[in-house]
């Protein structure tokens, strides 16, 4: 049984050479990477594709099971190495360390339990669980028996949960009794019961993990305790042979641009792509402790807490709690406690911690850090500098990783400390990724540097989405129709004279002021230059004379401020940074911005508030902070 890891690039020159090779002959390049894994049967064809239908198939005819590659093949060399390191919400509570051998045994037990409940290959299983080891174990168990997992963040409303369960016709929901978040225990099973009351006709069983042990309502016709179903099961379960193109999971996007899409990923390509990108972007070496702070309910958790790291035999940490409990120093305390070598988080968390002051980060021993990463949205310069200076002590390379639920894995990023780094630039595409900038008006590819345009991909990579669940036309229409022959990301980007990419933001976040088009991100960056500004969101609103006016929501650093004077100063800053055309017409100071769970500003809500349409704000239940909406509406100018 081969037990090799993806090829690890070790210099920037090598990156250039490998990149060229991956473009000259993508099939040979990816076939060589795929050959490092365990296949039950080799593939017949490396790739067949068209971006019209679209149809993309990698490693067709090949048979594999991703968990055999995450678990079984590591047992010989690293059976006693920690696979999952669990840091609980309560700092004094016991840290759980699951070795590869223990994880393998536990995954097999849950696999057997699921089979006993009648879950078979192709059935869908929904997860609504906190960040506890049983979540990781059960997701892998699904994959082991060929069931399709659909993880829903355990903070979404009953309605949001029911919508997702019904969209995928899930047969089982796996949940916990309660969820620990900082000082609070939040009911989880209760929300599942509410979802079932709304109506989820496909659900036959609710498997309940006892987490806090508090009381829950119980209906024996469908409720079943996790420990009762699992604990007596045999610790061995043969992995279900899967076709490379069988569905591995469905994951709903955050919905910041509309109704969430059920993005579908398949077994073979996703495996190869997440392992390759994990190893290269984080430059992971044996023995390192890697920590990604995302939730598994988000693609980052799928690809870079679970699959990528486990495929590479890494030690991956799961954190149950929140960054501000017991105080805003928790992340850094945990890094120190476990000697974290690679740390991966989101700009929204960094900005929140930055606003609490430097005392919380200073005084911690962060000397084990080798790479620190950012994901989820463009990182503004101020947050980048803070991350670099305070966390990275001016030394540790930052990888600003651009990618999407749909891409399966990281697409544009530095490779650890090998690549040149530049604040707010994600950098160069990874090997195998053929990015393009396209002119919005002509649809032509822009090949010169510097240049800016629609961010597209010209050629398939193994981690690309295959469809959107139950609605292939939506997949075609959303990603493959804007620029014929290319995958369109929905983002706009700029390439500098050296070919490094900077993500400007979503293309639909463009405002047209008196005929001048500008990205809202550009105006936000300008406002952020003011020393008292912590965060900004800019949207357009109907304006009688200009067509669209600029409405800015601004969060200030704590303290007493003279609002009128600050407004003038902010306008002056924008005038200086961009020009008078970009100066905001209205500036509203706010405490918080409405955010999705993955840290994105919910702009459709801000646009409605700015336009005065405060009645039809739509579903706000998937927000991290629904209360922000009300205070913003009240303070509208």
Residues lying near ligand ATP in the complex (CB under 6 A) are found at 253-257, 260-261, 299, 374-378, 400-402, 404-405, 426, 489-491, 503, 506, 598, 600
Nearer to ligand ATP, 345 or 598 (CB): 598
Q: In what order do the strands lie in the sheet with 445-446?
A: 445-446, 435-438, 451-457, 487-495, 501-506
Nearer to ligand ATP, 202 or 257 (CB): 257
Nearer to ligand ATP, 68 or 377 (CB): 377
Nearer to ligand ATP, 255 or 268 (CB): 255
DSSP 289-330: EEEE-S-TTSHHHIIIIIIHHHHTT-EEEEE-S-TTSS-TTH
- At closest approach, how far in Å is the CB of 99 from ligand ATP? 31
Nearer to ligand ATP, 114 or 248 (CB): 248
CA 563 to CA 505: how far, in whole Å? 28
Nearer to ligand ATP, 405 or 482 (CB): 405
- At closest approach, how far in Å is the CB of 468 from ligand ATP? 11
- At closest approach, how far in Å is the CB of 353 from ligand ATP? 18
Closest to 391 (Cα-Cα) out of 334, 326, 322: 334
- At closest approach, how far in Å is the CB of 120 from ligand ATP? 30
Nearer to ligand ATP, 149 or 330 (CB): 149
- At closest approach, how far in Å is the CB of 406 from ligand ATP? 6
How many separate helices (H) and strands (E) can be counted in the chain?
Answer: 20, 31
- At closest approach, how far in Å is the CB of 295 from ligand ATP? 11
- Asked if 160 and 152 touch (Cβ cutoff 8 Å), the reply is yes
- At closest approach, how far in Å is the CB of 399 from ligand ATP? 9
Nearer to ligand ATP, 266 or 401 (CB): 401
Handedness of CA 541, 544, 550, 553 (dihedral sign): negative
Structure tokens at 252: 């709903």
CA 316 to CA 535: how far, in whole Å? 31
Which residue reads 């390192």 in tokens? Answer: 288
- At closest approach, how far in Å is the CB of 596 from ligand ATP? 6
CA 121 to CA 119: how far, in whole Å? 7
Nearer to ligand ATP, 600 or 607 (CB): 600
Query: For the chain, how many residues are written?
Result: 637
- At closest approach, how far in Å is the CB of 18 from ligand ATP? 22
- Asked if 299 and 262 touch (Cβ cutoff 8 Å), the reply is no
- At closest approach, how far in Å is the CB of 407 from ligand ATP? 8
Which residue reads 């980052």 in tokens? Answer: 300
Residue 17 burial (CB count, 10 A): 13
Nearer to ligand ATP, 179 or 413 (CB): 413
Which residues lie closer than 8 Å to 547 by C-beta, 6 or more apart? 512, 513, 514, 515
CA 272 to CA 265: how far, in whole Å? 12
CA 279 to CA 428: how far, in whole Å? 16
As beta bridge partners, residue 4 has none
């Amino acid at each position: 049984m081969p037990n090799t890891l993806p090829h690890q690039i070790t210099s920037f020159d090598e990156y250039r050479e490998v990149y060229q090779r991956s473009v000259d002959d993508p099939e040979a390049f990816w076939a060589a990477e795929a050959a490092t894994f365990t296949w039950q049967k080799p593939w017949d064809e490396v790739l067949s594709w068209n971006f019209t239908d679209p149809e993309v198939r990698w490693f067709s005819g090949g048979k594999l099971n991703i968990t055999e590659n995450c678990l079984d093949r590591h047992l010989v060399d690293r059976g006693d190495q920690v696979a999952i390191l669990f840091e609980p919400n309560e700092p004094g509570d016991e840290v759980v360390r699951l070795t590869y051998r223990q994880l393998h045994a536990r995954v097999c037990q849950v696999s057997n339990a699921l089979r006993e409940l009648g879950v078979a290959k192709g059935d869908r299983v929904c997860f609504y669980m906190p960040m506890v080891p049983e979540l990781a174990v059960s997701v892998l168990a699904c994959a082991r028996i060929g069931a399709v997992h659909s993880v829903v963040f355990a903070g979404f409303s009953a309605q949001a949960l029911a919508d997702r369960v019904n969209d995928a016709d899930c047969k089982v929901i796996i949940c916990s009794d309660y969820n620990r978040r900082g000082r609070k225990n939040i009911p989880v099973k209760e929300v599942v019961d509410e979802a079932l009351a709304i109506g989820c006709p496909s659900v036959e069983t609710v498997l309940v993990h006892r987490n806090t042990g508090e009381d829950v309502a119980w209906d024996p016709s469908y409720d079943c305790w996790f420990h009762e179903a699992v604990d007596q099961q045999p610790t061995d379960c043969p992995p279900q042979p899967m076709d490379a193109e069988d569905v591995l999971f469905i994951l709903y996007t955050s919905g910041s641009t509309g109704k969430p899409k059920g993005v579908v990923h398949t077994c073979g390509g996703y495996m190869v792509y997440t392992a390759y990108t994990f190893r290269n972007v984080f430059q992971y070496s044996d023995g390192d402790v890697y920590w990604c702070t995302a939730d598994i309910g988000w693609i980052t958790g799928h690809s870079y807490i679970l699959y990528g790291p486990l495929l590479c035999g890494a030690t991956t940490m799961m954190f149950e709690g929140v960054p501000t409990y017991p105080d805003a120093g928790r992340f850094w305390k945990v890094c120190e406690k476990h000697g974290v070598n690679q740390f991966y988080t989101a700009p929204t968390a960094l900005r929140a911690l930055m606003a609490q002051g430097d005392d919380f980060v200073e005084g911690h021993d962060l000397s084990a850090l080798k790479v620190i990463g950012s994901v989820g949205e463009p990182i503004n310069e101020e947050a980048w500098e803070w991350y670099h200076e305070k966390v990275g002590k001016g030394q540790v390379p930052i990888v600003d990783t651009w990618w999407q639920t749909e891409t399966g894995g990281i697409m544009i990023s530095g490779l650890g400390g090998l690549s040149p780094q530049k604040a707010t630039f994600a950098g160069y595409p990874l090997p195998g990724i053929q990015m393009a900038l396209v002119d919005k008006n002509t649809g032509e590819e822009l090949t010169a540097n510097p240049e800016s345009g629609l961010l597209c991909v010209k050629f398939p990579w193994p981690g690309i989405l295959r469809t959107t669940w139950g609605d292939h036309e939506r997949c075609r229409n959303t990603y493959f129709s804007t620029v014929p022959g290319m995958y369109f990301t929905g983002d706009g980007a700029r390439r500098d004279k050296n070919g490094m990419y900077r993500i400007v933001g979503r293309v639909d976040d463009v405002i047209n002021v008196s005929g001048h088009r500008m990205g809202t991100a550009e105006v936000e960056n300008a406002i952020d230059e003011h020393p008292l500004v912590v965060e900004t969101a800019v949207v357009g609103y109907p304006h009688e004379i200009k067509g669209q006016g600029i409405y800015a929501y601004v969060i200030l650093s704590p303290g007493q401020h003279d609002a009128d004077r600050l407004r003038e100063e902010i306008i002056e800053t924008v005038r200086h940074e961009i020009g008078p055309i970009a100066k905001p017409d209205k500036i509203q100071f706010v405490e918080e911005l409405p955010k999705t769970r993955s840290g994105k500003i919910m702009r459709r809500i801000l646009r409605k508030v700015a336009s005065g349409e405060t009645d039809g704000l739509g579903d706000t239940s998937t927000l991290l902070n629904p209360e922000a909406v009300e205070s913003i509406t009240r303070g509208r100018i």
